[in-house]
Amino acid sequence: MADAAHHLRRRSSAALPRGWCCSFSATPQSPDHHRPLSAASAAGGEGVGGGGARGKLPPKSPSVSLPSFQSSPSSRLAGFIDPRRILSPGRVSPIDPDGSPAVATGANSEEDAPPRPSVPFVAVREEREEEEGRGLDLKLCLRGRDGRSVAMELVSAVLCESSAFFAAMAPPPEATVGGGSKRIEVDGVENVEAFKETVELMFEADPMRWFVRAGVSRAIGVLEVSSSIMFDRGIKSCLEYIEAVPWNENEEEKLKNLFARCTFDEAVSKDVLARLKPQCQSISDDVTVHLIQSVTSSTNTGARKEMQSLVNGLLSRSSVYQKDLSGLNKGSLYQICCSCLNSLVEHFTEDLCSDKIVRDSKPMIERVSKQTENLNWLFDILVNNDMAEEFVELWAKQEDLISMHGQASAMFRYELSRISANVFIVLGKGKVQCPSDLRSQLFYGWFRPMLMDFGWLQRCSKGLDMRMLEENLGQALLTLPLQQQQSLFEEWFQCFASRGTECPNLSRAFQVWWRRSFVRSSLESRR
């Protein structure tokens, strides 16, 4: 009969239902947690069975009730956790249907229990060692706007000492739930992960080591939460870390938005603010002028080209750095243009006044080439910013350079026609609008040098598109009055007939001029 009673007892125990939730309130009832029957109980069961009465389970042995998991001191946790329960963020633990605490077995030792992870439940193991006698007496529940929720069991004293926000929210000692623990719920959290990490930071002995593992982006999230819950120690640690490490552009934008929405103590935030914006506002046009002057005065050709590309990117309309034209001073740019033009005049004057027979010395070629590259680069900046009309006038009135062009060596004088080529292309595309008399002055001054230097430009184009030059040179010429067009086209026709491909091919523009001047006028006269 003893076997029958034991079999009946095991079937009754196995039939008990189980409930599941995300609480860690108690260890569930299970057959493995019943204490073994004493010899007397077993004997009593056998006697009942022998008497023919219905078999019943013997009463449970009396046991000592332990406090619940939430309110128990950390020194008692070792023998309380069932070794089969895995306290991980993605798992839940079983409880009894009636919610009553189960009896902890004395067989479980601290060595037999599995390791207890600290995320998202903060300071479980550490509280046993460092917070002796202080229990996990507070349950913090975070609910995000996206529906995500996190429950954390904490030491209320540490939470309230760290945050004035939670110090005001913490319930009084007599307000308890469950097994005697306090509970705080925070709903509508924007960033649950950042909020959880901020609370974890309160229990970190070395916050900087945590930030090194987390990175700048997560530190910014913690800084925002620390500001909202008045966690002063966390704010100071975040700002010290953020100030000491590099940021990318996205992180910089996050910081700017955060500082625009939140107010931080100047004593702890001044170093970060010094990196976000200058303490004293510099005049941006002065900085631009200094950059451009540095480029134009550079003596290293490779470095000068690299710096030109860099400045072009900064001043471009599509650049993320340049949002308006307030930092580009027109007067300062034209001062640099005049300086480069004066240098060109000096170089040609020096070459003409020299007693040397060979005038194609390398230093002179390099000096002239440098100034023409500077002027073409400055002209591109002016065109891109709608400031180039004065440059066309300035170039059209260079009478000294025009007169010295025919006397100078062809090996470097063609560099002047490179500047003229860019001006003609811009006029032909209609990017710059100049008065008719200014366009006429430009063509009468620089059209003939262009015809002379076209062959050199073809051989040393340096990136100049010759087809584009021919097309736009003709288009620009067609913007002049018809009588002036006739004289210039006649000059081109004679040059092209004698030099061929060494002269620009303006045949299409010539045909347009001929049709407008003679064919159309003849038809109109017949009507």
Q: Render pLDDT for 450-479 as a digit per residue (tens, 0 to 9).
A: 999 999 999 999 999 999 999 999 999 999
pLDDT for the residue 394: 96
pLDDT in tens, 338-355: 999 999 999 999 888 866
Region 69-74 average pLDDT: 34
Reported confidence tier of residue 167, pLDDT bands at 50, 70, 90: confident
Q: Which helix (H) or strand (E) holds 20?
A: strand 19-21
What percent of the chain has pLDDT above 90?
Answer: 48
- The CA-atom distances, in angstroms, between 464 and each of 4, 364, 425, 447 are 105, 22, 10, 17
Phi, psi (deg, nearest 5) at residue 324: -150, 180
Phi/psi of residue 36, each to 5°?
A: -65, 145
The H or E element spanning position 206 is: none
Residue 96 has a pLDDT of 40
- What pLDDT is attached to residue 520? 64
Higher-scoring residue by pLDDT: 497, 92: 497
Q: Taking residues 246-269, what's their average pLDDT?
A: 92
Residues contacting residue 16 through CB under 8 Å, at least 6 positions apart: 29
Q: What percent of the chain has pLDDT over 70?
A: 66
In 3-state terms, what secondary structure has residue 51? coil
pLDDT tops 80 at residue 76: no
Place of tokens 């590309």: 309
Distance CA 240, CA 258 (A): 16
Give the total residue count for the chain.
527
What CA–CA distance (Å, rounded) separates 334 from 379? 10
How many Cα atoms are found within 13 Å in the side-chain-facing hemisphere of 256?
Answer: 10
Nearest residue to 7 via CA among 53, 61, 49, 60: 49
Distance CA 97, CA 282 (A): 71
Instruction: Note the pLDDT of residue 321.
Output: 53
The residue among 480, 464, 341 whose CA lies nearest residue 398 is: 341
Strands (E), 99-177: 138-144, 149-154
Among 373, 281, 295, which residue's Cα sits nearest to residue 327?
Answer: 281
* Start-to-end CA span in the chain (Å): 136
Q: How many other β-carbons are positioned within 10 Å of the β-carbon of residue 78? A: 15
More confidently predicted of 82 and 519: 519
Mean pLDDT of 250-254: 93
Give the pLDDT of residue 43: 36
What value does the mean pLDDT take over residues 18-47?
38
What pLDDT, on the 0 to 100 scale, is given for residue 230? 93
Task: Give buried/exposed letters for 103-120 (b at 16+ CB in 10 A, else e).
Answer: bbbeebeeeebeeeeeeb
Torsional sign, CA 61, 67, 69, 74: negative
Where are the extended beta strands (E) located within 74-231?
Answer: 93-95, 138-144, 149-154, 182-189
Q: What pLDDT digit, counting tens, does each position of 472-501 carry?
A: 999 999 999 999 999 999 999 999 999 999
- Type of residue numbered 211: F
96-148 pLDDT per residue, tens = 434 433 333 333 333 444 443 333 333 322 333 334 444 788 888 999 998 89
Would you place residue 267 in the very low, low, confident or very high pLDDT band (cuts 50, 70, 90)? confident
DSSP conformation letters of 450-507: HHHHHHHHHHT-TT--HHHHHHHHHHHHTTS-HHHHHHHHHHHHHHHHHHGGGS---H
Residue 349 CB partners (closer than 8 Å, separation 6+) = 400, 404
Closest of 309, 277, 397 to residue 345, by C-alpha: 397
